[in-house]
Every structure is written in structure tokens, then in C-alpha cells.
Structure 1
Amino acid sequence: MSSFSTSQTFVLPSPPVVVSSTCQQPSMKGYSDSGRGPHAVMVSLPTPGHMNPMLKLAKLLHSKGFQITFVVTESTHHRLRDSLQLDTLDGFRFETVPDVRLVSSSRDWMKYIEEFGVYLRTNFPAHFRDLLTRLKARSTKPVTCVVAGFMSSALHVAEEFGILKLLFWTSSACGFMGTLQIESLITKGYIPLKDEFCLRNGYLETELNWIPGMKGVRLKDITRFVRTTKHGDVLLSLEKEEAEIGYQSWGIILNTFDELESDVITALRHKFPRLYTLGSMSALVDRVASVESNPIHLSQWNDDTDCLGWLDNRKPSSVVYVNFGSITILTPGQLLEFANGLAASGHAFLWIIRPDLVSEESSVLISEFREKTRDRGYLTSWCCQEEVLAHPSVGCFLTHAGWNSVLESIENGIPMLCWPFFAEQPTNCRYLCGEWGIGMEIDSEVKREEVGRLVGEVMGNGEKSVEMRRKALVWKQKAAKAVGIGGGGTSYVNLENLVRDLKEEEIKIKCL
């Protein structure tokens, strides 16, 4: 393969299939729940950023003796069926529920989430109610708890059945606390914005000094959905509801570790006594989960493994890894600004360009860019990010600052360049750059000159870049300590506490 690799033709993922009201179940060949402990039903918003951490949590509970029923929509199961090889795994199964048909373009994730939000309030509760009824009728192990991530309607249905409700907030603790302020922001008159001029006149710099555990945070640092001029904005309302369900839940699970977000976690524990921080969940799975469950993996695109061989031929800490996650959408102009900035930086790069990354059909980069970077650029449509970030050749991560990406970068001691796009990503970016000292932000109006300059700064040997790398290694050590088994790592201890508390609740239920 050439040192510069790119796919000239990207195949768009199929939109969700049309599904009937009858649920077609995956094969249960070889399934057994005999001898298993508590039974957890787990369901998350069907996007990779939510499903993958939920799957990791499922692996952790399964390794501790739980029976797992992992719920996916039929369209998700259709897309991912090749990776759902669970027929012989004792106590771990997938169930499907019908879901929403995507009316809009398959490229428009935000429109899809809006449509899915309507589905959550209308059709989903009945489908999930039917599923719990079937499980109650046929399973020898009653459902102990429902764990939901951005699927509050599942928790409302769980309450109807008298089942314990757990919210798994798959984002950061600071993102969760910020989202919990939406009602106060509306009441105090901060949002909705009076007009779009507020996006440019400095209004977003307004400091919100009343949020517990989040000193110095600004309006621009809160979930991006607050940047709306609409009363009753669909995405803002949906985000608000999904966070506030925590007040009605038995417990809250966060994919973070105590030392990383200590102030805000302390503040959250005053609100939620049963708060379990289990991050970094990827690292905790590696330490704790049974070997048999580790191969379970969900991915919407095929991983390019050749990129790892390309990295093998690069010097240590010499490559910029670029990946904007599974939802971020670039305009063709933004794509070219990033491309020209990377070209001008002079550094080698591995750039993930998803099939649906660009808002228009064409995502072919200009020939001039390809020629300039032929000897130091590798483009591909997807990869195993955890393996890439663990590779010694990677020295910087240009990211959207999604929480999974942030944690995976911290685990590996990689400093970040952040271009937040969606949801709580501005919050994560603010903490990366302002609190933890391991990130630098690219302006939302991305310009090639800034991209080139910041890449050079992070990858260089100046005082700031050296300090960023030092702090990144410190946080890597702290992240490893948090999941340590023998040394009383906080995340490992919290996992043990969660398992103990749920088993105690199961005993109480049996005694009723």
C-alpha cells in the first residue's frame, strides 16, 4: 500500500430499515441464564458514542455474574448483526425493539436525533413495555434493574414494572452537571438567546459562577444545545429531560474517574448519593472483564487494520491522529481548511474520513493536498481508535472532544487539539484546555492558518507543548491508578460497590 492511502469512493451507511410491529428476535441458540446473579436490561441511544460505553458497562456487570439483556433497535441490529456473535456466551444476549424510520438524509445525525426524540415519547415505551413483559414471562431470572443511557422513557417504563432504574450518563461529569442547569438557565433568562447576534457579540462569554463544582465556566462551555433562539427547542428539551431523569433514578453511573473531575463529582454526590464513577471504562474492562466477553464489539464501519502497519514505520510521537467521531459533520469548506492546515504543518498524519463525514456527497480532497502530503499522510474511513491511540507513533489527537475520545486519549497520555461540534463537547474542551492542561482549542470558524500553527505548537518542542505532554503523562498515570485492582483504585472500588448494592437490592426484592 502507498504511504498515502485514501478511498476514492465512500459508501454511505444504509438508513435504518423499515420495521414491522412484530419484533424479530436474534438467535438464542446456546443461551442459558442458569446460575447467574442479578439480571440487568441495558439500553442506550443507538449511536456509537452511547452504545459502545454501554456495552463496556455490560461487559463489566457480566464479568461480575450478572445476566445481561442488551437492547438494540432492529435497524441497529440489522447493521451490526455480523458483530453480534453471542450465541454461545452464557448469560449475555441481545434483544431487539422496533425503531424510528429515518426520514431525513442519512448524513444528518442531529435531525435523526430529533426524530428519535419524538419516537422515544411516542412508540418506544410500548415496544419496551412488550419486551419487559416477554422477559418476565420466559426468563427464569426476573429483571433486577434497567440501565438506560439517553433513553429516559425506558426508565419510566421500568418504574411501571417496579424495576430499579439506573441512569448511565455516557458523557463527562462536568457535561452532566452542565446539562442539569438547563432549567435554571431558562428560568434565569440566559436562554433561549434573544437573537443570533448573541452568538457573535460576546454574550456566550457570560460567566455562570453559580454552578456547583464548575468555577469559571461560561455559557459557551455548557452543552452546545443552549445556543438556540427557539423556545421549546427539541434538542435542548430532549437533553434536559435525559439528564433530569437522574433525579428519579435509583442510581447514576458515570464513565469518569474521581480525580479527573473531583470538584464536580463531589458536588454531584450531594445531589445523587448513589453515584458510581467507573472510568475509564475501557481500561476497567481490560482489567476486570472476563476474557470471553472482551471480543464483543460494535462498529458501524469496518476497521482498517493496515493503518497500524503504516504507524509502525513512523517515529515515536511523530503522527497527528485526526478523527471527529461518529456524528460530527463537516462542510466541504471546513474539510479543506483542515486539510490545508495539516499540509502546512509539515507533520505526518492519520486522518479518519467517515463515509458520512462531509455534508455533501463529494468528499474527494483536492489533488494539490494529496500531492503535498503523499509521503506523510494516511486517509481511511475508520479504524480501531483504541489501538491507534495506544501506538507509540501517535503524538497528538485532533478531535471533536467527544467524551469517549477524550478518555481514550487520556489513557494513553496523548495531548489534544479540540474542535467541539456537538452536545457537551464544548464543556469537555473547556476542561481539557483550562483545567487539565492537555488540550488546545481550534476556533469553530476553522481556518487553515490556525490549524497549521496549533498542530506545530502541540507537536513541537516549545515550553507549552513540553508542559502539555508532561501533564498528559501525569493524567495517564492517574487514569491507570483509578482502575487498579490491588491498589484500591477508585473506579474499581466503585464497581465493587455498585455490584454489591445491586445484589443487596435483588435480595430485598426476593424477600418481598
Structure 2
Amino acid sequence: MANTPAPHILVIPFPSQGHVIPLMKLSVRLATQFGFRITFLNLQQSKQVNGGNPIIRMLHILEGQGNNNKSTQSVQRLMPGRVEELIDQMNATGSDAITCVLADQTNGWAFEIAVKRGIRRVGFCPAAAAMVAVQFSIPRLLRDGIIDQQGAPTKDDQTVKLAQEMPALRPSEFVWNCFGDQNTRKHMFELVLRSTESMRSADWLLCNSAHDIEPGSFGSIQTLLPIGPLESIPSSFGSLEGEEDQVLLNWLDQHPPDSVIYVAFGSTTRFDPAQLEELALGLELTNRPFCWVVRSDHITPEIKPVLDRVGGPGKKQGKIVSWAPQEKVLGHPSVGCFVSHCGWNSTMEGLANGVPFLCWPYFADQFLNASYVCDVWKVGLRLEREDGNGMMVVTKEEIRKKVDRLVGSVELKERSSEIKRMVRDSVGERGSSTQNLMKFAEWVRGL
């Protein structure tokens, strides 16, 4: 009697780094630990993720469609038809049939396709559980007059607290209200409504978080299960960003514990040149060693001289790089401060390594995450903006002042160590996240 093929999971991320990375981490775990077959959809060809290892099949379904296909509208327009064709092709073979679809929560259309094809559905939230709590609370927010029918706040400066252990949130900073003009925000709200309704049809909802750091959020949604923080991808699977910079790690080795400021703002944050200069001067004023990740497209002729002065080749205080192996950097004993945009992946990596934050949120869920860091977990401080020549900026004096406060705070360091223990315990052998993932794997095997 022939062996039964291993379950085959079709993984559909939203094509943005903050969404792709955690789903790839989960896919690697499901393939290596549980032996599941994984087909991982990429929008287009990118740097190879799995180092040629055939355990995960990578498909790039929009080759030849141009370079501007990563917007939400493009995904909605281009991907559903291609995914339907792909599922039908796989299911026609029998041996390659899809056991279940594992899709990013923003890809509500993927759940709709799976329902039509009679395929089991698993939703994945790459952000905080509080994000899902906000989405599932939209009917309540509408009923209570917190937001209008287009998702816009009805009052300026109001806050709402959805659960006792959740941070107070500003409706103006709900994820759909952090995009462009009014029409874009309206479109995003409609997308959130659609994806939320689709998520309600999912058999499982998984989240890259830990129960003990978000008990209020998980308590408000019984079907949402924490399985995080998801572990880093093994080196044999390559990297989503590039080769590890051993030179940087060697530089960190030369500094004493808790002395280095690590500065990184993710893949989408954009700063005005004047703000970049203010940040550079602020780091210089701290008189502390710093490592700053500055994307190459930010280095204009206008700002390059300042960057070279504070962190160019041969400079002792600062080291400016275009990319860093972030999890290794945050785990290095010399790093004592993380200046971050508070994207959820960065937030979880900072928490897991016990590094206190200076929070500089830019858009989307980053404001919520910063509220968690500063108001709930109390492992960081906010960098406040003020008016500077008609533009709101974080000044060099603010940067120096907050670095001094953070580095000198025993309370913040102790609290960071406590949260680190909680996060790491969740993925221990008997941790709640580990147990949830094993339960999910058993369910997949039973399909």
C-alpha cells in the first residue's frame, strides 16, 4: 500500500517584507519540524529565500507583470485569478492537491477562493493580536460612534480601550487611517472590513505573538491562537535581505555590554533629508557608539556628507550600514538601546532579546505597537516630535535626552529582562505558543 502523501499547505503572504518574513518563518517550521509540504507564493522573483533547499517550493506567480505590483490594489486585481488557476492545477493532479490554504489576514480573497473550492482555511496575523481585536471590534466602534461609516474618527484626540490589558488607542491611528488621502483611507477600511469578514470563516487564526504579553487581546478573541515569536530562519535557508555582515558583528564585539545604540526603521519608513540630518546629529550628541541602518535610497547628495561625518569609514563612534542581520545584532550583548519604527517583527525581536526601545512610529500598526512598548510593557520611551521650520521633527536634543534617560534607567532594563523571559518561555518546550503550534499541526495531519 502506497504511503499517504504529507499534507500540502498553500501559503499566501501579502507581498510586503513585514508580512512575508513571519509567514516564511512559520513555513520553514511546518516543513522542517512536522514534514508538511509547503508551496509558498511570492508575487514576483526576489532574492532566493530557501537557499535552493527543495523542502519549500517557491512560486512567483506574477512574473512579467512589471515592477509596480506590490500595492494593495494590484494584489487585489492580479492575484485572485492566478491563485484560482494554480489551485485548480494542483488539485487536478491528486497527489499535489491542496490540504489547506494558509493566508495572510489581509488576503481575504484567498479565503473566499478556498471556500468556493471546499478547501480548509487558516488565517495568519503577522502583527499584534490587538490589531485583530480592533478589526473584530469595528461593529462596536461604529455602534458607539467612535468611527463613522468610512472608518474615520468622529472626534479629534479621543482614545478607546478595547480591553483592560490593551493600550489606549487613537482612532486616528487605526491602521486604515494611516494611509494617504481620504480616498485611500476609505479603500483601506473597505479592505479591512472584507478581510475581517473572511477571517471569521477560517478554521484557525494564528498570530505571531505570545499570550502572556497580550492577554487582553487574546482574551477578547477566543479563536485567535498565539504561536510566536516565530524563530529565525535557519542559515541553510538563506535570508530575505542579504548576506550576514560579519564585519558589523565584529565591530559590535569591540564594545562593552549595553553600550551601543542600534537604529533601524524597517523597509518602508521614509524620512525627509532634514529629519535624517537631525537624527545623525542627535546620535553624534549622545557620545555613545551607534550602529545605524540607512537604506541606500535614503543617501542623497544632500545628506551624504553628514552621514560620512558621523558614521563613515574610519569613524569610531558610529557605523552606518545598508543592512544588518537584525536578530543577531539585537542579541549581541553590546546593544543596549533600540531606536525603532516599532514594526511588529522588530518589536518582537527587541522583546525577545531584552533590549529597551526608543519608539519612533511612522504609520499603520506601529503606533499601536509603540503604545504597547511604552504604556503596557513599559520597556521603552517615545521620541516626541516638535515644530521645526514648519515641519514636525524629532530634534537632535530630543534624541540625546531620551538616549540618556533610557540608557541610565535600571527600571527599563529590568522590565525588559522580565518581558524577555515571558516571550522566550512561550516558545519553550512546554510554552503556550509551542503547544498551540503542535495542536495546529495535529489538525493538519487529520485532514
Give the alignment's TM-score, normalised by structure 1: 0.77
What is the Cα deviation at residue 419 of structure 1? 0.5
What is the Cα deviation at residue 295 of structure 1? 2.1
2:250 is aligned, of 296, 309, 317, to 309
Question: What amino acid maps onto 2:198 in structure 1?
Answer: I
2:270 is aligned, of 311, 329, 339, to 329
Structure 2 unmatched runs, 5+? 386-392
What is the Cα deviation at residue 459 of structure 1? 1.3
Whether the 8 Å CA contact 1:343–1:372 is kept in 2: the answer is no
Q: Which has the higher contact order (CA 8 A, sep 6+)?
A: 1
Q: Is 1:172 aligned to 2:138, yes or no?
A: no
Return 406-415 or 438-447, whichever deviates more. 438-447
What is the Cα deviation at residue 133 of structure 1? 1.6
Which aligned pairs between 1:401-416 and structure 2 lie closer than 5 A? 401-416=342-357
1:135 is aligned, of 85, 90, 93, to 90
Which aligned pairs between 1:75-224 and structure 2 lie closer than 5 A? 75=44, 77=45, 79-81=46-48, 83-89=49-55, 92-98=56-62, 101-103=66-68, 116-138=71-93, 140-149=95-104, 150-182=106-138, 184-185=140-141, 188=145, 190-191=147-148, 204-210=156-162, 214=166, 216-220=168-172, 222-223=174-175
Secondary structure class of the residue paired with 1:93: strand
In structure 2, C-alpha distance between the alignment counterparts of 1:240 and 1:341, rounded to whole Å: 41
Return 377-386 or 144-153, whichever deviates more. 144-153
Structure 1 unmatched runs, 5+? 1-32, 104-111, 286-292, 507-512
Tell me which residue corresponds to 1:254: 207
How big is the alpha-carbon RMSD for the aligned residues of Structure 1 and Structure 2? Answer: 2.8
Change (3 A) 1:340 1:52: same
What is the Cα deviation at residue 407 of structure 1? 0.7
1:65 is aligned, of 21, 35, 46, to 35
What is the Cα deviation at residue 449 of structure 1? 1.2
In structure 2, C-alpha distance between the alignment counterparts of 1:317 and 1:482, rounded to whole Å: 25
Question: What amino acid maps onto 1:453 in structure 2?
Answer: K
Whether the 8 Å CA contact 1:59–1:294 is kept in 2: the answer is no
Whether the 8 Å CA contact 1:224–1:424 is kept in 2: the answer is no
Tell me which residue corresponds to 1:48: 17
Which aligned pairs between 1:410-489 and structure 2 lie closer than 5 A? 410-444=351-385, 445-460=393-408, 465-485=409-429, 488-489=430-431
Whether the 8 Å CA contact 2:311–2:317 is kept in 1: the answer is no
In structure 2, C-alpha distance between the alignment counterparts of 1:173 and 1:260, rounded to whole Å: 10
Change (3 A) 1:413 1:87: closer
1:25-44 Cα shifts (integer Å, max 9, x gaps): xxxxxxxx976521111010
1:72-100 Cα shifts (integer Å, max 9, x gaps): 12x3x2x313x4433543xx211221165
Whether the 8 Å CA contact 1:175–1:428 is kept in 2: the answer is no
What is the Cα deviation at residue 422 of structure 1? 2.0
Give the alignment's TM-score, normalised by structure 2: 0.88
What is the Cα deviation at residue 225 of structure 1? 2.5
What is the Cα deviation at residue 472 of structure 1? 0.6
In structure 2, C-alpha distance between the alignment counterparts of 1:297 and 1:363, rounded to whole Å: 32
What is the Cα deviation at residue 122 of structure 1? 2.2
What is the Cα deviation at residue 170 of structure 1? 0.2
In structure 2, C-alpha distance between the alignment counterparts of 1:193 and 1:128, rounded to whole Å: 30
Q: How many residue pairs end up in the alignment?
A: 432
Whether the 8 Å CA contact 1:351–1:378 is kept in 2: the answer is yes
Identity %: 26
Whether the 8 Å CA contact 1:42–1:146 is kept in 2: the answer is yes
What is the Cα deviation at residue 194 of structure 1? 8.0
Return 376-385 or 61-70, whichever deviates more. 61-70
Secondary structure class of the residue paired with 1:205: coil
Tell me which residue corresponds to 2:220: 267
Whether the 8 Å CA contact 2:166–2:214 is kept in 1: the answer is no
Change (3 A) 1:276 1:72: same
In structure 2, C-alpha distance between the alignment counterparts of 1:361 and 1:131, rounded to whole Å: 46
Secondary structure class of the residue paired with 2:237: coil
In structure 2, C-alpha distance between the alignment counterparts of 1:337 and 1:456, rounded to whole Å: 17
In structure 1, C-alpha distance between the alignment counterparts of 2:38 and 2:415, rounded to whole Å: 38
Tell me which residue corresponds to 2:304: 364
In structure 2, C-alpha distance between the alignment counterparts of 1:318 and 1:492, rounded to whole Å: 33
